[in-house]
Every structure is written in structure tokens, then in C-alpha cells.
Amino acid sequence: MVSAIGEVLMRAHVVALLLVVCLLTPARSEEAPAGGGSVPSVHAQIAYLGKSYAEAEPLSLVDKIYDDKGVQGARVGIVEDNMTGRLIGHDYKLIEAIVAEDADITVKARELLAGGVTMIVADLEPADLLIVADLPEAENAIIFNIRSSDIGLRHDNCRRNTFHIPPDWAMRADALAQYLVWKKWYKWALISGERPKDKDFAAALRRSAKRFGGKIVAEKTYAYQGGSRRTDTGHQQIQTQMPLLTQNLGEHDVIVVADVEESFGDYLLFRTFEPRPIAGTHGLIAASWHRSYEESAATQMQNRFEKRAGRIMTERDYSAWLAVRTFGEAVTRTASTDLAALRTYLMSEKFEVAGFKSQGLNFRSWDRQLRQPILLAGPRALVSISPQEGFLHPKYLTDTLGYDEPESKCKLKN
């Protein structure tokens, strides 16, 4: 009884204190207390929710196999959020919650949400992501997809509580298409794998061709049974198979390849029937991050990451880093962890996050996908950055990449 009264009193006291703090603190404090208060005023908990999915191994032995893609980026991000937070009395905690592929994701998700962890960095495939997003407890959560390029998630399957950091297949295909058209390589021969993600990217390439004046002059699918990247005598077979695959494609300027699952894409390079460049998932690729990228202070990010993680920064690491930084930016600027305030801020004109792309990045209002310039990289060096010169848009040039507002099937009210 006594303790209950005590608790009520305590609570009333806390509420009164909060009110005082609210009254004293402007919504967007320009000046922060010096040196960081000893008692942080804002605590932000960010969950890294993922599954350890079995992934296709990269074909090239040059690409190392990592089982911690993504989470390493989040770890660097949280250190940076705390470096900023420390100065203004905010602190951040990263809760790593990675479960087995066959685990029921709802168990971990519910546990986090019940514990009040409502800022979620989701390293999940689309089906699992939607299960989490649709949990009643997650209704007001803020979820950042950092893994999937699935168009559906930003389209018919979009969710009010889910934002997308990596570019989807459409943005990537458009980024490539603009460059190919700028090069006047209009005639494309499309070779795609037969797995679902290969088909998704192939469909995006077809759409991009139509959008930007390219023409798919021939199409082939290829079902190379991969599975082992170690093939001691493999190259002779590949050397005879690839010319066969790329024969009779008609007159074409470039071969575009959709092999997301790494079963043959790299084998096309230098082995085509006619001497042609390769673009798509291999050869010239479209990505939000690449080790060869150094502009706009990207070098600093590459160095910071490598120092902490002991390996190069992959695209998923970049997405996770950016997701954690986006939470940090929103908390810093609103001086709050209130979900409604954060969401309003993330969707507002005021929001921008810096991601080493020489411009502020923000979210598209219609599908909550991050606007960003896309890197075009060859196997060893950066080639270009899209959008390309001359592709215009009344609002954001980056909105020439992917589904623009009128084309979007995402019907969310903000």
C-alpha cells in the first residue's frame, strides 16, 4: 500500500519533471549543454532485428564471405550516434537480435516491442519483414528495412511503419539504364537467372529500358547449377559455355545480366560471343555503396568502418549504418524518442541525413524509400554516379530513379 502510493507519487513527480523539461526545452534546441550532462535526458534503444539466412556465396574468390554484413554497420553507427549524443545528453543503445533462419521472427519481435524497443533496423527478407510490420504491437514502431531491394515492399506491400534504406530493383535498374543511354548503348541483350530475385531484377531492367529509350533486343535465361565457388578445373567449361549462351542475340551494344543469386554473372565477363560490356548484377553494377567509392568524404567512412570491423564495408553495412544514423539524426533534431514526433520529422521537409553522397538524403513521401544517388561501379573502380546529366525532374533529380509518385502503387496516408 505504502509502496503503491510511493510509486504514484514518484510517477507524478516524473510527469511534473517531464513537463518542466518540455517547457524549458525548445523543440529544436540550437544549443546543447556543454560537455554532455552526466545524466542523459534522452535514451534511445535501437534494435537490430535479423535472421541468419543462408546466402548465395559470391562467385568470385576475391569477394570474401562475411556472416556479419549489416550488423557491423549498425555497430559503427551507434558509436557515432553516441559521440554526438554524449555532447547533448542523449544516449543510444543497440540491441542485436539475430535469430536462426527457421525461427519464428514474431517471438523476438514481440519480445523487443513489449520491452519498449520500437526503433527497429530490420535485416529481414520481405516475408519476415511484413510479418513484423503487421504485428499489432508494431503499429507505431519505426522500422528501417536495410536488406531487401524488393519492389513490392515499396509498392503494393508498403507499410506505414516501414521505411526503406537500400535502393529497390527499380532504382538500381534505372541508374544503370540512364548511364547506358547516356553512352548511347541502346540495344540490350538480357540474360537472367531463374530464381525469384533474378526475375524481379530482370523485370526492373525491362521497365527501365522502356522508360529511358533502351531496347531489349534479345532475352535468354540461364540456369547454371552453381553451389560451389571452388572449381579447380572450372574455367575450361565456362569458356565454352558462355560464348554459346551469348550467341545469336542479334545486334546488341551491351549484355545486361540479372543474376542476383550469384550463379553465373561473373563468368560472362570477357567470354561473350561478341566483344560486349556486361552490366547489371555483374560487370557494371548499381549500388548504394562500394569499396571503390571515395568522394564526398566517403573515404572517412571507409576508414572508420575498416578500423572497427576489420574488413571492407559492404552495401548492407552501409544501409545499416545509415539506418542507425537516421535514427540518431531524428533523435538529435527533435530531442525526443517519441515515435510520433520522430515519424513526423522523418517525413518532413526539414529532415535530411548525410550519407557521403554530396547531398542531403530524405524519404519519398509516397513509399518511404530513401532518395539517393546510386553508384555505378565496375569490378575494381567507380565508373559513374546516377542520376546522369540531362535526366530531369521538377523536384528531385534522384526521383528519376525508381517509381515516381504518380506511378506508385503504395496508397498510404501519411
Partner 1 sequence: MQIEELSATTSGPVFMQRFAIALALLVTSAASVQAATAFISNEKDNTISVLDLETLKVVKTVPVGRRPRGMVLSPDMKELFICAGDDNRLEVMDTATFEITRKHETSGPDPELLDISPDGKILYIANEDDGLVTVLNREDGKALAEIQIGVEPEGMAVAPDNSVVVATSESTSMAHILDTKTLKVVANVLVDTRPRVAEYNVDGKEVWVTAEVGGTVAVIDSATRKVKLKFGFEIPGVRPELIQPMGVKFTRDGKRAFVALGRANRLAVVDTATYKILDYVLVGQRPWHIDFNGDGTKIISANGLSNDVTVVDIASLKAEKSVPVGRLPWGIVVKP
Q: Contact residues for partner 1 (CB under 8 A)?
A: 28-35, 80, 83-84, 87-88, 297, 300, 303-304, 307, 325, 332-333, 352-354, 358-360, 397
Q: Which is nearer to partner 1, 164 or 333 (CB)?
A: 333
Q: How far is the CB of 341 from partner 1 (least distance, A)?
A: 16
Q: How far is the CB of 398 from partner 1 (least distance, A)?
A: 9
Beta strand 278-280 with 187-192 is unpaired
Q: How far is the CB of 36 from partner 1 (least distance, A)?
A: 8
Q: Which is nearer to partner 1, 246 or 332 (CB)?
A: 332
Q: Which is nearer to partner 1, 354 or 383 (CB)?
A: 354
CA 53 to centroid of chain Cα atoms: 17
Q: How far is the CB of 62 from partner 1 (least distance, A)?
A: 24
Backbone angles phi and psi of 284, in degrees to 5: -85, 115
Q: How far is the CB of 307 from partner 1 (least distance, A)?
A: 8
Q: To 10 degrees, the CA torsion angle through 275, 281, 284, 288?
A: 180
Q: How far is the CB of 374 from partner 1 (least distance, A)?
A: 15
Q: Which is nearer to partner 1, 248 or 300 (CB)?
A: 300
Q: How far is the CB of 373 from partner 1 (least distance, A)?
A: 9
Q: Residue 262 corresponds to which cell in the numbers above? A: 550469384
Q: How far is the CB of 120 from partner 1 (least distance, A)?
A: 23
Q: Which is nearer to partner 1, 87 or 135 (CB)?
A: 87
Q: How far is the CB of 142 from partner 1 (least distance, A)?
A: 20
* Segment (H or E) for 294: none
Backbone angles phi and psi of 141, in degrees to 5: -70, 165
User: What length is written for the chain?
Assistant: 414
Burial category of 194 from C-beta neighbours within 10 Å (exposed 0-12, middle 13-18, buried 19 and up)? middle
Q: Which is nearer to partner 1, 316 or 333 (CB)?
A: 333
Q: How far is the CB of 182 from partner 1 (least distance, A)?
A: 18
DSSP-assigned letters across all residues of 226-240 = ---S--TTHHHHHHH
Q: Residue 153 corresponds to which cell in the numbers above? A: 515492399
Measured at the CA of 295, the angle between CA 294 and CA 299, to 5 degrees, comes to 40
What's the CA gap between 303 and 89, in Å, rounded?
Answer: 27
Q: Residue 231 corresponds to which cell in the numbers above? A: 572449381
DSSP-assigned letters across all residues of 177-241 = HHHHHHTT--EEEEEE-SSHHHHHHHHHHHHHHHHHT-EEEEEEE-------S--TTHHHHHHHH
Q: Which is nearer to partner 1, 28 or 43 (CB)?
A: 28
Beta strand 119-123 with 162-164 is unpaired
What's the CA gap between 244 and 208, in Å, rounded?
Answer: 27
Q: Which is nearer to partner 1, 84 or 106 (CB)?
A: 84
Q: Which is nearer to partner 1, 229 or 304 (CB)?
A: 304
* Segment (H or E) for 172: helix 169-182
Q: To 10 degrees, the CA torsion angle through 293, 299, 305, 306?
A: 90
Q: Which is nearer to partner 1, 267 or 327 (CB)?
A: 327
